[in-house]
Amino acid sequence: MTRFIPACFHQSLGSDFFDPVAPADFPQTLLRHRDRRWAERLGLAGLSEADWLRHFGRFEPLPGAQAQPLALRYHGHQFRSYNPDLGDGRGFLFAQCIDPVDGRLLDFGTKGSGKTPWSRGGDGRLTLKGGVREILATEMLEALGVYTSKSFCLVETGEQLWRGDEPSPTRSSVLTRLSHSHIRIGTFQRLAYLEDTANLAKLLDYCIAHYYPGLEGATDKAAAFLEAVVANVARLGAQWTGAGFVHGVLNTDNINITGESFDYGPWRFLPVYDPDFTAAYFDETGLYGFGRQPDTLAWNLTRLAECLVPLSSIAALEPALNSVWPVFRAELPKTILGRLGLEPRDTESDSAFVTTLFGFLAASKAPYEQFFFDWRGGRLSAERAASSPAASFYASEAFRPVADALEGFAPTDTVNLDHAYFARLTPRTMLIDEVEAIWAPIAESDDWSLFHATLAQIAQMREAYGVGVETSAGP
C-alpha cells in the first residue's frame, strides 16, 4: 500500500511569505467529489468519508503535515494593471506532500475556505457552482492532455451566498486542489515591488531546490530558472490551443512557476475556431481571448524576467525570455499531432500542417473538438469522418489541403481507435450550454446524476487518449 509522505517545505521561506490563518467554521460539510485516482497514488485512499470531511471540510491537519493553513502573499497584474493588494483572499496552502511515484512536491491548496488578511472585503467563500465548474474544467483538460491542477475534493458547506453574476442566494462549497506549486509570477512581483532582494534570492533558491533541482549549480541561476519557466509556460499555451481552451483570467497571479494551468473562473471551450473568442463577460476588449493567450503568457513572463534583474542581468535574462516563441512554435505542432495520434515528420512539414489546419478551421467554422475526434489517426479515420455529423465540412474543396496533408502522417502506435470512445458519433465536449445543463438539476433538485455521468464519460475519454494518473502529472 502506498504511504502518504507529508512535507512542510513552504514554511522554511519564513513569515515574510505567508500569514497563518484559520479555516472557516462551516455549518455543514457534505462530500460531493473526491479524486480517488490521486488519493490512491498519494496514499490517501484509505481515508473514510468522515476522514475526508475532517481534513478537506474542517481542515484538520493531515498526519505529519503542517499544523496550520498558510495564506500566501503575492501581487499581480490584473488585466495589465498592477495590484499590490492581492494574496490568498479565499484560499490557503493547507498541506504539502511528496508524490511517491515521481518524488515531486505537491500542494494541497484551497478555494472558498474562508476570510484571510487578503480578502479585501470579500466573504472568502466559493459557490457550489464554481466548485462544480472547476472540477469539470480540470477533468476535461487532463483528458485533453493539458498540464493542469487536479480538483482533489469538493465539499458543500451549507451557507447561502450572494453573487451578482448568478441567481442568489446560491449554495456554497470549499474546493481543495492538488497542484505542483502555488508560487506564482505574482509571488516574485511582490518582492520586486518591495525591493526585497534578499527574499527574492531566497525564493529563487527555494524554487530551484523544490521545482527545478536540475538547475542546482547553474552559473546564472536566475537566467536558468527563467528559461525553464518560459519553456513550461509556453508549452501550456500550446496545450490550451490544442484543447480549444480559454482560461479567461490570465493575470500574472494566475500563472505559476511550474507552468501548470490552475484557478478556473470564467473558462470556456471553443465551439469553433475563433481567435477572438473570450471567456469572461467582463473582458470587454478581448485581452484574454483565445488567440491572444500565447501573447499574454509572453507578456506575463516578461514581468517575471523584470523581477529577476536584481539577481542576474538583462543581457543574461533576455535570451531566456526570448525563447518563449521558439518553444511555443515547436510545442504547438507536437500538441496538435499528439491530439490526432499522428507521428511528427519534420519541423517544416509539421508547422505547415498546423497552418493549413487552422486556416481550414477558421474559414469553415467546423466544430473544433469534432474535427480532432473525427480525424484521430489521420487516414485511418477516413471512414469514421465520412459518417460524422461534420462530414459535409470534410467533403468541401476547402478541406482538400488538410486531407492531402493528413495522408503524409503515419498514426502512432497508441492511436487506440478500437477504444469504445471512438465508436461514438460525437466527442465528449464541455461547451457552456453543457456546463449549464449539468448544473441545472443540481440547483433545482440536488440531482447529481448528470454530473457523475459526465465524469464517467470524461474518464472514458481520458482512457481512450492514454492519459492516466501516471502520465498526467506534467513535465
The pLDDT tens digits of the residues spanning 366-395 come to: 999 999 999 999 999 999 999 999 999 999
> Is residue 165 among the annotated active site residues?
no
* pLDDT-derived band at 225, boundaries 50, 70, 90: very high
Unique residue bearing C-alpha cell 473558462: 267
* pLDDT-derived band at 471, boundaries 50, 70, 90: low
* pLDDT-derived band at 474, boundaries 50, 70, 90: low
Torsion of CA 221, 195, 20, 30, to 10 degrees: -70
Alpha helices (runs of H) in 148-220, residue ranges in sequence order = 185-193, 197-211
pLDDT beyond 70 at 469: no
The pLDDT tens digits of the residues spanning 404-438 come to: 999 999 999 999 999 999 999 999 999 999 999 99
If you average pLDDT over residues 80-85, what whole number do you get?
A: 95
pLDDT beyond 80 at 304: yes
Residue 372 belongs to what H/E stretch? Answer: helix 368-374
Average predicted confidence (pLDDT) for the chain: 96
Interstrand relation of 245-246 and 6-7 (parallel, antiparallel or unpaired): unpaired
pLDDT at 163: 86
Within 13 Å, how many C-alpha atoms sit on residue 475's CB side? Answer: 19
The 8-class DSSP code of residue 275 comes to T
Listed in sequence order, the residues at least 6 apart from 400 whose beta carbon sits closer than 8 Å to its beta carbon are: none
SS3 category, 455: helix
The pLDDT tens digits of the residues spanning 430-461 come to: 999 999 999 999 999 999 999 999 999 999 99
Given a contact cutoff of 8 angstroms between Cβ atoms, the answer to whether 299 and 387 are in contact is no
pTM of the model: 0.96
Using CA atoms, how far residue 171 sits from 112, 175, 260, in Å, is 12, 13, 29
Find out whether the peptide bond into 266 is cis, omega within 30 degrees of 0. no
Unique residue bearing C-alpha cell 534583474: 309
If you average pLDDT over residues 116-135, what whole number do you get?
A: 96
How far apart are alpha carbons 350 and 378 in whole angstroms?
14
Listed in sequence order, the residues at least 6 apart from 312 whose beta carbon sits closer than 8 Å to its beta carbon are: 220, 221, 222, 223
How far apart are alpha carbons 221 and 205 in whole angstroms?
8
If you average pLDDT over residues 224-231, what whole number do you get?
A: 98
How far apart are alpha carbons 275 and 292 in whole angstroms?
7
Provide the grid cell at 281: 463577460
If you average pLDDT over residues 194-203, what whole number do you get?
A: 98
Listed in sequence order, the residues at least 6 apart from 253 whose beta carbon sits closer than 8 Å to its beta carbon are: 74, 75, 76, 78, 86, 184, 185, 186
Report which residue type is found at 449.
Answer: S
How far apart are alpha carbons 113 and 93 in whole angstroms?
10
The pLDDT tens digits of the residues spanning 42-60 come to: 999 999 999 999 999 999 9
* pLDDT-derived band at 2, boundaries 50, 70, 90: confident
Which residue in 88, 107, 253, 283 is the catalytic one?
Answer: 253
Per domain, the residue ranges of the chain are: 6-182+432-464, 186-331, 342-413
SS3 category, 284: coil
Q: What φ, ψ does residue 98 adopt, rounded to 5°?
A: -105, 130
pLDDT beyond 70 at 320: yes
Given a contact cutoff of 8 angstroms between Cβ atoms, the answer to whether 35 and 150 are in contact is yes
The pLDDT > 90 percentage for the chain reads 96
pLDDT at 410: 97
Burial class (CB in 10 A: 0-12, 13-18, 19+), 448: middle
Report which residue type is found at 241.
Answer: T
* pLDDT-derived band at 165, boundaries 50, 70, 90: confident
The vertex-99 CA angle with 305 and 34, nearest 5°, equals: 100
How far apart are alpha carbons 79 and 282 in whole angstroms?
10
Using CA atoms, how far residue 36 sits from 20, 193, 245, in Å, is 29, 41, 25
The pLDDT tens digits of the residues spanning 258-297 come to: 999 999 999 999 999 999 999 999 999 999 999 999 999 9
SS3 category, 173: strand
Taking each helix axis as running N to C, give the angle between helix 197-211 and helix 185-193, from 0 to 180 degrees, rounded to the nearest 10: 160
pLDDT at 97: 98
